[in-house]
Each structure stands twice: as C-alpha cells, then as structure tokens.
Amino acid sequence: MVESTTDFPNTRLELVDRSRAFVPEDMPERLAELIAGSLRERANARVHGGVV
C-alpha cells in the first residue's frame, strides 16, 4: 500500500470506505465524486493563480 504521495507530485491519497481492490467496480459513485472534486480544485487553483 502507498503510504506517501511524495513520489507522485500533485496527488493525494484517498481511502474509499467499503471498497476492496477495484474502486471503479466497488464504489463507482464515490470515485466519480473524488475525481470531480479534484478537477474542481485544480480549476479553482488555476483561476486564482495558485499552484496545482
């Protein structure tokens, strides 16, 4: 299991409760929420001149 995101810049680790090895199959709605939230944060950071 990945314990740190230092090897993957501009990332974060999200734990998905009640999911097993394949999140897209186990919890597709939660995965979609996490992806959409990440994209929103990146877009907002660009609009406001932040670092992504």
pLDDT in tens, 8-48: 777 888 999 999 999 999 999 999 999 999 999 889 888 77
What is the pLDDT confidence band of residue 1, given thresholds at 50, 70 and 90? low
Per DSSP, the three-state class of 10 is coil
Write down the domain spans for the chain. Answer: 24-52
Report the pLDDT value the prediction gives residue 24, as an integer from 0 to 100.
Answer: 96
pTM to 2 decimals?
0.71
**CA nearest to 12, candidates 2, 24, 21:** 2
Query: So what's the pLDDT on residue 22?
Result: 94
- pLDDT of residue 50 exceeding 70, the answer is no
Eight-state DSSP code of residue 41: H
d(CA 18, CA 25): 12
